[in-house]
Structure 1
Amino acid sequence: MTVYAAGAVCWRVTNGKVRILVIHRAQRNDVSLPKGKVEAGETLPETAVREVLEETGLAIDLGVPLGVTSYTMPNNRDKVVYYWAAEVSPESFAASSFEPSEEVAGCEWMSLRKAKKTLSYERDVEVLERFQLLIDQGVLRTFSIIALRHAKTIPGSEFDGPDALRPLTHRGRTEANVIVPSLRAFGPSVLVSSTARRCIETVTPFSEAAEVRVRKTPLISQDAFEDGTSDVRHVVAKRVRKLTSAIVCAHGPVLPEIVREVGLAAGGTRQASLSRAGDLPVAGFSVLHLSVDQPGSGIIAIETHVPQLVS
């Protein structure tokens, strides 16, 4: 059985230069990037954030995905590791609480060039090569627009009332709670929702956990979309101009338009990838990564996640 894991290339800027965090593992006598195995019910982004905190004491928000490494472990099991770039804010760095453990003997910040020479495994160096491309393209610092579909809702045929008032089912309420850690992994500080009850109920657990208020707007509601009074472009353009990570929660028919407008606001991107990003299951979300320094350079990366329910 394949073992899945996740980690991050943690970085910060010191005296105008990018520094990378590596960890020294005593038991294995090696130098690597922080990472760890996925636990039951976790999504990969959730794992990456948790493992970095456990191994380094740093609280991070994930940035651009850096791809995957795979290898065979000594026990002949295959291991697949997903990585993200993650800027360590000055506040997070100052609040870090690293203590040496049996697993991690120490953490060290170093230049990208030195990190490539110091890491014990070529697969980790390959991850840094992908990270280097972000620097070369001038798009290292990013923010994200997270397009979220509401969780499972009582069918219209079973609800006696206006469509906008349909509530979540028991499973939907579970989904709304389950996705909170995955959404928080990307550090959104703004929360925009359709005025429909099912959307508001979907984002309420995140709002309460992250202490971010819900900004309700009818401009991305399904009713407005169907009667021609919606204004998805206005809502999306405002979020892109702010250059801060945000969740936009809406409906199945509206989400493809939201994603398309993000692409247009960011300077255009491939239509095929945008179509996939907008085609979401209930409680699924796509993370659209954009450049802070070059917001017109297009969408840097797209990733899609669905809730992991443990039966």
Structure 2
Amino acid sequence: MTDTAVYAAGAVVWRMLEGKLRVLLIHRTKYRDVTLPKGKVDPGEMLAETAVREVREETGIRVCLGVPVGVSKYWMRPKRQKVVHYWAAEATDDAIRASSFVPNGEIAAIEWVSVKQARQRLSYPVDIEILENFARLVEDGVLHTFPLIALRHAKAIARSDWDGPDAARPLTGKGARQAKAIVAPLRAFGVRRIVTSDAERCRQTVAPLERKLGRAARVTDKISQDAWEHGTADIRSVIGRRVRSRKPAVLCSHGPVLPELLSEMALATGTMRGSYVNSASALAMSAFSVVHLSATNPGSGIISIETHEPKV
């Protein structure tokens, strides 16, 4: 991000209605236009949590993010660029029924339409470009996805400052703040399952997420740094289980282990390995890479990878 640009995030929200795909448009009161739900990043937010929050605030619908569908950029007055990141996001029947939307001073109406109708009704070319990216996902048959998220543990006390076993090193104060900061972004992708290395720094990293979800992590030495260094890790079985489950999950591990973690995701899904896998595994502490896989055919390869890092 740059200091001069205004950042925002939103989604192409979709649903299946009587077997037909529909996308959600919003009619804004003040501007008298038709657009996609989006809004500015609040201080301290990461883009993914902004997208989910803005969809909820503007439409009343709680969504989880799917595949990214592009970034729109345009100029605002006075000479400031606005950068908007978008994801595909399914609105479930339960989420729609739970919506509390009523017309208000910001949003006059919301409307479910076909992709063809959306092309005709959207007010801005930048929104139509995002819609076209979404339409290509539909054409490719990869709209239904689930994420596997590779997470590097938050900042821990340095080895040089620690007298005990390496696996017992705890997080620093900054690391504890990072662990809290990633809870909302991880939840934005619908994470419900947590797998973590048995190292204390990993367990402490996922502890705030465990509390928020009310669900205990699966703790294993199979993806720990100690096991990896001793040649006893079993990353393949962990990844295979997660791919077969087709459920959103986060796997918390260590910097040296992450390249193999991502490589196994590629192998398990029949994806040709390339430099993008290496890039996705080169994570700062508390950063994570979201690997999007087809929910109907995980063996068809990785659909998309995106990386996020908290500014803590």
Verify same fold: TM over 0.5.
yes
The two structures, once aligned, show a CA RMSD in angstroms of: 0.9
Equivalent residue for 1:212?
Answer: 215
Query: Is the 2:68–2:87 contact (alpha carbons within 8 Å) kept by the matching residues of 1?
Result: yes
Query: Is the 2:73–2:83 contact (alpha carbons within 8 Å) kept by the matching residues of 1?
Result: yes
Q: Note the alpha carbon deviations across 1:134-189, whole angstroms, 9 max, x for none.
A: 11111100000000000001111211111111100111111101111111110111
Equivalent residue for 1:87?
Answer: 90
Counterpart among 134, 155, 161 of residue 137 in structure 2: 134
Counterpart among 243, 256, 259 of residue 256 in structure 1: 259
Aligned equivalents of 2:255, 2:5: Cα separation in 1: 33
Query: Is the 1:176–1:203 contact (alpha carbons within 8 Å) kept by the matching residues of 2?
Result: yes
Residue 148, structure 1, aligned to residue 128, structure 2: no
Aligned equivalents of 1:260, 1:112: Cα separation in 2: 36
Equivalent residue for 1:266?
Answer: 269
Aligned equivalents of 1:19, 1:261: Cα separation in 2: 35
> Letter of the aligned partner of 2:162 in structure 1?
F
Alignment of 1:232-243 (within 5 A): 232-243=235-246
Aligned equivalents of 2:214, 2:113: Cα separation in 1: 35
Query: Is the 1:269–1:299 contact (alpha carbons within 8 Å) kept by the matching residues of 2?
Result: no
Equivalent residue for 2:230?
Answer: 227
Q: TM-score, normalised by structure 2?
A: 0.97
> Letter of the aligned partner of 2:146 in structure 1?
F
Q: Give unmatched runs, 5+ long, in structure 1.
A: none
Query: Is the 2:66–2:90 contact (alpha carbons within 8 Å) kept by the matching residues of 1?
Result: yes
3-state SS of the aligned residue for 1:64? strand
Q: List 4+ stretches of structure 1 deviating above 4 A.
A: none
Equivalent residue for 2:7?
Answer: 4
Equivalent residue for 2:175?
Answer: 172
Q: Give unmatched runs, 5+ long, in structure 2.
A: none
Number of matched pairs:
309
Counterpart among 119, 122, 137 of residue 122 in structure 2: 119
Query: Is the 1:143–1:290 contact (alpha carbons within 8 Å) kept by the matching residues of 2?
Result: yes
Aligned equivalents of 2:12, 2:273: Cα separation in 1: 27
Equivalent residue for 1:181?
Answer: 184
Residue 18, structure 1, aligned to residue 21, structure 2: yes
